[in-house]
Structure 1
């Protein structure tokens, strides 16, 4: 399992393959987990989710940004997507990766870009979630979040349960809307738990802490064992259903997503779209190697 995960993580970082994938279109099973390569096709998917009582957090995919020109282009695509949320009238917000808008190019330049995005999102009353990336970008992401929150309220981020420091970060961010995840990157034992049971235990612990904090909690997991424990906990503690939501990725456990929404739980689906789908898809295969079956079935059916 570890070898397979490392293999797909390595593939996700391969820029030549990412460039080639833009020419392939949504192949190798990616069309099942990426909601199209353009806004129109993505919005159709969001409308279908909304019809089932499910909200969306939209990710305009983009990787391997090394210049200000590339980052500016990505920022403009995000702002165009924000405008489209307003035009289409869908129930959705956006998730943004800071590396996509220049974090690896220049910190202040990236901060200016995300400030522009937040200003546009505020016009439409749309929430922006700063996606958390690997450990090397964690503190910079939190620093940018702090700067943004001095001016904007419609912004939050992600806490990853496999990191040792996450409980302390949670305390600092107790008033913030947070998405809580187990974590999908490969990190060293110096900064992260390595065993699944340790990650699971810490994840449930963090969920319970934030559910009892002022900030809204997005519980992003496909783990039905965790979901059942959360349901029992909120019932025991009389936590209102409008204080949290469940989240899952587009294309995964779709029937469970609908069932949770029917049960009355707030539910949001993470909806990625765009031509830069390759790295995102490789990380999903690394995270859940059983999804390799999606790719194999797609290749066989061609």
Structure 2
């Protein structure tokens, strides 16, 4: 299992394959977990979720951005997506990766791009979640976030439970809206828990700390054991249901998504779309190797 995960994480970082994938369209089974390659396809998926009482956080996919031109193009696409959310009146906010808008080019340039996105989103009363990436980008991402939250109240980020430092980061972000996740990248033992049991244990610990802090919390997991424990905890501690939400990825455990929404929990689905789908999909295969058969069948059928 570890070897399989390492293999797909390595594939996710392959720029040659990523470039090729933009020309393929959604193949290898990716259409099951990516909501199309354009805004119209994404909106159709979001409207279907909204009809089931489920909101969306939209990710206009993009990776391997190392030039100002690519970063500015990504910013333009994000701004167009925000405008589409506003125009169509869908229940949705946006998730943005800072590397997509120039973090690896120049942090100051990235901050200005993010500031423009946050301003546009604020005009439309749309929240922007800054996605967390691998450990090398963690502190630069938090540095930009701490600057932005002094100016905007519609910006938040992600805390990853597999990192040792995450409990300390929670304390610094008590009032900021956060998404809590287990973590999808491969990190070294010096900075992160390595076993699933340790990660799960720390994840639950962080969730319980966070639910007693003032900021809104998105609990992003497909793990029904953790979901059941969260339900028990909020009931025991009289935590209002409007203080948190559950999140899952598009295309995963759809019946459980609908069930939780029907039970009265706020529910949001992470909806990725765009031509730059390859890296995202490889990380999903790394997390869920049972999807490999699906990918292979799709590839053969093409």
- Please say whether Structure 1 and Structure 2 have the same fold, judged by a TM-score greater than 0.5: yes
What does residue range 3-22 of structure 1 map to in structure 2 within 5 Å? 3-22=3-22
Matched, 1:69 2:76: no
Residue by residue over 1:239-264, the C-alpha shift from the partner in whole angstroms, topping out at 9 and shown as x without a partner, is: 00000000000000011101100010
Give the structure 1 partner of residue 167 of structure 2: 167
Residue by residue over 1:164-194, the C-alpha shift from the partner in whole angstroms, topping out at 9 and shown as x without a partner, is: 0000000111111100000000000000000
CA RMSD of aligned residues (A): 0.7
Give the structure 2 partner of residue 192 of structure 1: 192
Structure 2: tracts of 5 or more residues without a match: none
Cα offset for 1:121?
0.2
What does residue range 269-280 of structure 1 map to in structure 2 within 5 Å? 269-280=269-280
Give the structure 1 partner of residue 157 of structure 2: 157
Q: State the alpha-carbon separation in 2 of the partners of residues 18 and 143 from structure 1.
A: 29
Cα offset for 1:290?
1.3
Give the structure 1 partner of residue 287 of structure 2: 287
What does residue range 110-149 of structure 1 map to in structure 2 within 5 Å? 110-149=110-149
Q: State the alpha-carbon separation in 2 of the partners of residues 78 and 119 from structure 1.
A: 12
Q: State the alpha-carbon separation in 1 of the partners of residues 32 and 69 from structure 2.
A: 31
Runs of 4+ in 1 over 3 A off after TM superposition: none
Q: State the alpha-carbon separation in 1 of the partners of residues 204 and 95 from structure 2.
A: 23
SS at match of 1:75: helix
Residue by residue over 1:48-101, the C-alpha shift from the partner in whole angstroms, topping out at 9 and shown as x without a partner, is: 000000000000000110100000000010000000000111000000000000
Give the structure 2 partner of residue 265 of structure 1: 265
Give the structure 1 partner of residue 48 of structure 2: 48
Give the structure 2 partner of residue 212 of structure 1: 212
Matched, 1:247 2:247: yes
Q: State the alpha-carbon separation in 2 of the partners of residues 279 and 202 from structure 1.
A: 27
Give the structure 2 partner of residue 35 of structure 1: 35
Cα offset for 1:120?
0.2
Structure 1: tracts of 5 or more residues without a match: none
Q: State the alpha-carbon separation in 1 of the partners of residues 52 and 141 from structure 2.
A: 33
Cα offset for 1:298?
1.7
Give the structure 2 partner of residue 25 of structure 1: 25
Q: State the TM-score, normalizing by the size of structure 1.
A: 0.99
Cα offset for 1:157?
0.2
SS at match of 2:239: coil
Q: State the alpha-carbon separation in 2 of the partners of residues 62 and 20 from structure 1.
A: 14
Q: State the alpha-carbon separation in 2 of the partners of residues 120 and 64 from structure 1.
A: 25
Give the structure 1 partner of residue 201 of structure 2: 201
Q: State the TM-score, normalizing by the size of structure 2.
A: 0.99
